[in-house]
Amino acid sequence: MKVVLQRAKNAAVSVDSEIKGQIDRGLMLLVGVTHEDTEKDADYLAEKIVNLRIFEDENGKMNLSLKDTEGSILSISQFTLFGDTKKGRRPNFMEAAKPDHANKMYNYFNDRLKALGINVQTGVFGAMMDVSFTNDGPVTLILDSRV
């Protein structure tokens, strides 16, 4: 699994101009799933994300986690994270998981985040979505469950 994590002052996702999920302060996640991903990958990333110390403390140092700040997550499925652009001019998405496996793993990942005490909002899996957010910092990290 790959996750592009962005610290956000606010974030929202809409489908056909209807807001499906929105948060105030927290994290906006783009979540990609590949064929080999298992619940172990989702568990690892969920635990890592909620405990990463990437929010500023009273001294302006990145020393607080999402749990510490009681922030929320806007989680967006993003198969294009596994796009291969090495050859040609059109990305190859062969590494992205098939929709049934991707949806299962994406839902499991979001359920793990919720089980860790986080308010999680989502878009609509497989839909064309409009995502807007204000990147705070900016702070952007790329996490991969493959070690």
Host H or E run for residue 4: strand 2-15
Residues noted as catalytic: 80
Q: Measure the CA–CA gap between 11 and 5, rounded to whole angstroms.
A: 12
Contacts of 120 (CB under 8 A, 6+ apart): 72, 73, 74, 75, 110, 113, 114
Which position has the token pair 């948060």?
Answer: 23
Burial class (CB in 10 A: 0-12, 13-18, 19+), 124: middle
